[in-house]
Amino acid sequence: MAGESKPVIWMRPEQAPVGRPAERSRAEITAAAVELADREGLEAVSMRRVAAVLGTGAASLYRYVATRDDLLDLMTDSTAGEYDLSAPSGDWQADLLEIAHQARKIMRRHHWLPTLVITRPTLGPHAIDLLEHVLDVLAGHPANPARKLEAFALLNALTALFVQNELTTAHPGAQRQFAHLHHVAAGGSHPRIAALLAATSPEGNSRDPFATVLTRTLTGVLG
């Protein structure tokens, strides 16, 4: 019969039990893709370029991965293996914040990660371990299980949004957006925006709102 549907990559066996053994592994390919993305950004991660890093042909990668998106999922999950998870302390807020701070460090290390986390959320093996850990932290918390899942998703997504924001505002492209805002403010309408731009100091803001916003949001969803 045709129509063989394609399950999630984590359920497909990495190596066939018979036949010629593969020369590489998913982990090897993932590492090459991650290294390439760290160096030249996500858009540089094309099948041909990843294959070139490995010294193989582009078509060979399809023995390890059904599609490029699968490779992106592998990259995302591999970074979820960089967490250093210690036993729950009893203070779930502190523990979750610790995880968020680690997430921020990881996402800064891999500047392509926020985009992936936000646009294609996945639950690979490492991410599942992380989820298990978060559920462990929240074990004593009396909240709907669905809410706990939402809290986990929000923790990831919000952190990604924050890091993406602080990464793009450093980029030169953001300066042009800012210049455009000033231009609009000078136009006469939009007095509120003009006042805002006049009142704010471009640099040297007060404390980092990351922790504040995150804890507020988490307590918001967890009741």
Could you give the 3-state DSSP secondary structure of residue 206? coil
Closer residue to a second copy (CB): 109 or 180: 180
For residue 16, what is the DSSP state? -
Could you give the 3-state DSSP secondary structure of residue 66? coil
Tokens representing 113 are 């990660």
Could you give the 3-state DSSP secondary structure of residue 83? coil
Backbone angles phi, psi at 188, to 5 degrees: 110, -55
Tokens representing 54 are 């490995």
Tell me the C-alpha to C-alpha distance, in Å, between residue 194 and each of 66, 173, 174, 191: 52, 21, 18, 5
With contacts defined by CB under 7 A, name the span among 40-48, 135-143, 165-173, 175-183 that binds DNA.
40-48
Smallest separation (angstroms) from DNA to the CB of 110? 18
**59 interacts with DNA by CB under 7 A:** yes
The binder of DNA chosen from 27, 62, 139, 178 (CB under 7 A): 62
Backbone angles phi, psi at 122, to 5 degrees: -135, 160
Do residues 194 and 200 lie in contact, with contact meaning Cβ atoms separated by under 8 Å? Answer: no
**3 interacts with DNA by CB under 7 A:** no
Ranges within 161-190 binding a second copy (CB under 8 A): 161, 165, 168, 176-177, 179-181, 183-184, 189-190
With contacts defined by CB under 8 A, name the span among 32-40, 45-53, 97-105, 199-207 that binds a second copy.
199-207
**15 interacts with a second copy by CB under 8 A:** no
**47 interacts with DNA by CB under 7 A:** yes
Could you give the 3-state DSSP secondary structure of residue 107? helix
**146 interacts with a second copy by CB under 8 A:** yes
With contacts defined by CB under 7 A, name the span among 64-72, 116-124, 143-151, 167-175 that binds DNA.
64-72
Do residues 47 and 123 lie in contact, with contact meaning Cβ atoms separated by under 8 Å? Answer: no
Do residues 193 and 178 lie in contact, with contact meaning Cβ atoms separated by under 8 Å? Answer: no
Tokens representing 147 are 């809410």
Closer residue to DNA (CB): 96 or 124: 124
Q: Which chain residues interact with a second copy by CB under 8 A?
A: 7-8, 10-11, 115, 118-119, 121-123, 128-129, 131-132, 135-136, 139, 144-150, 153-154, 157-158, 161, 165, 168, 176-177, 179-181, 183-184, 189-190, 192-193, 195-196, 199-200, 205-206, 209, 212-213, 215-217, 219-221
